[in-house]
Amino acid sequence: MKPAAFAYLAPRDLDEALDQLAEHGADARVLAGGQSLVRLMNARLASPAVVVDINRVAGLDALERHNGTLRLGATVRQRTSELSPDVAAHAPLLAEAGAHVAHAPVRSRGTVVGSVAFADPSAELPTALLALDGRVVVRSRSGERTVEADDFFTGPFTTSLAPGEMVVAVEVPVTTAGTGTAFVEVARRHGDLPVCGVAATVTRGDDGRVGATRIALCGAGERPVRARAAEDALTGSDGGTDAVAEAAARASEGLSPIADCHGSADFRRHLARVLTGRALRTAIDRAAGEANDV
Ligand SMILES: Cc1cc2nc3c(=O)[nH]c(=O)nc-3n(C[C@H](O)[C@H](O)[C@H](O)COP(=O)(O)OP(=O)(O)OC[C@H]3O[C@@H](n4cnc5c(N)ncnc54)[C@H](O)[C@@H]3O)c2cc1C
């Protein structure tokens, strides 16, 4: 099928893009990599009157590190992030999760920010952003605001973005020495959206016990969700086999997974438990062995 008729705008700078988004409000959609939006438009599941293509906007393709924060601009491709030495060294969870997204040709066009803005509850990158305590930088003609990832995702394919706003970047604190991260998932085929996936970050305290822990799941609810009961169970423990098993057992507490042709809600709860155990074991091992420079 072909999309419904729409006006195509290709701003050259951010002010021009923000003016166009302000003018057209809820009738406009941002086009980044187009890997989800164009499919939706072709299927007539989305029919924006105006498409604002941000690919020519200068400066949005920057991937930078400043003062302990890694910032990925709105047109940084998923493949660029996956292969970036900076991301590998300072936010390895983003690279690990990103490698599970689709296949290389899709990742070569698709953007990290586009995946976050699309807010598919099964997607890997929003889940990694949540586990990394990331932030979403939002701009409109009236200014800039920064939204915690936890507050950005509001439901399936919905976010706290208002008409006239766009995401200009996502930011994550760099992963410091003594912190280990891991992403694991189960998908029917490599490159498919996961039935369930888990992103974990674990920091070892000076006393050798587990300090800060963040666990986020995809495919386990209507948005990427934190497994807070599991985080609480692991934090302060010795990080040994029993502690991980106890945390994993609590990973599905409070979850309301969807049920579809890829898996029942019970199967997804089972995966949440098993994958949380795997992700935590790997993250704990990495916390003990890895040193990530800030
Ligand atoms: C064959 C195939 C397999 C896939 N498999 C997976 C998978 O396994 N896992 C996965 O997570 N994804 C998967 N995807 C989706 C892919 O990751 C997309 O690239 C991603 O969801 C959207 O990124 P994009 O840059 O292409 O965004 P677009 O398609 O351009 O935009 C997607 C949505 O986000 C909005 N948007 C984009 N950028 C901004 C911005 N800066 N500000 C505000 N709104 C914005 C758009 O308006 C649109 O509503 C797959 C896609 C394909 C085609």
User: What are the residue ranges spanned by the domains of the chain?
Assistant: 7-53, 63-173, 179-288
Pocket of ligand 1 contains residue 124 by CB under 6 Å: yes
**Ligand 1 centroid to residue 32 C-alpha, Å:** 8
Residue among 106, 107, 160 to mutate when testing ligand 1 (max atoms within 8 A of CB): 106
Pocket of ligand 1 contains residue 113 by CB under 6 Å: yes
Tokens for 24?
């057209």
pLDDT digit string, tens, across residues 21-44: 999 999 999 999 999 999 999 999
pLDDT of residue 39: 96
User: Would the CATH topology of 7-53 be identical to that of 179-288?
Assistant: no
Please state, in angstroms and rounded to a whole number, the distance separating the CA atoms of residues 109 and 30. 15
Residue 283, CA distances (Å) to 94, 105, 171, 221 in order: 14, 29, 21, 23
Pocket of ligand 1 contains residue 57 by CB under 6 Å: no
Closest CA to 86 of 111, 110, 69: 69
Closest CA to 46 of 116, 140, 118: 118
CATH among 1.10.3720.10, 3.40.50.2000, 3.20.20.140, 3.30.465.10 for 63-173:
3.30.465.10
pLDDT of residue 206: 87
The answer to whether domain 179-288 has CATH 3.30.390.50 is yes
Going by C-beta distance under 8 Å and a sequence separation of 6 or more, which residues neighbour residue 233? 243, 246, 247, 249, 250
Phi, psi (degrees; rounded to nearest 5) at 106: -65, -45
Residue 53, CA distances (Å) to 7, 13, 32, 166 in order: 11, 11, 6, 12
Pocket of ligand 1 contains residue 114 by CB under 6 Å: yes
Fold (topology level) of 7-53: 3.30.43
**Ligand 1 centroid to residue 266 C-alpha, Å:** 28
Residue among 18, 29, 30, 108 to mutate when testing ligand 1 (max atoms within 8 A of CB): 30
CB 49 within 8 A of CB 4: no
Work out the pLDDT band at 254, boundaries 50, 70, 90.
confident
What percent of the chain stands above pLDDT 70? 98
pLDDT of residue 258: 87
Going by C-beta distance under 8 Å and a sequence separation of 6 or more, which residues neighbour residue 250? 227, 229, 230, 232, 233
What's the chain's average pLDDT?
96
pLDDT digit string, tens, across residues 160-217: 999 999 999 999 999 999 999 999 999 999 899 999 999 999 999 889 899 999 999 9
Pocket of ligand 1 contains residue 271 by CB under 6 Å: no
Work out the pLDDT band at 291, boundaries 50, 70, 90.
very low
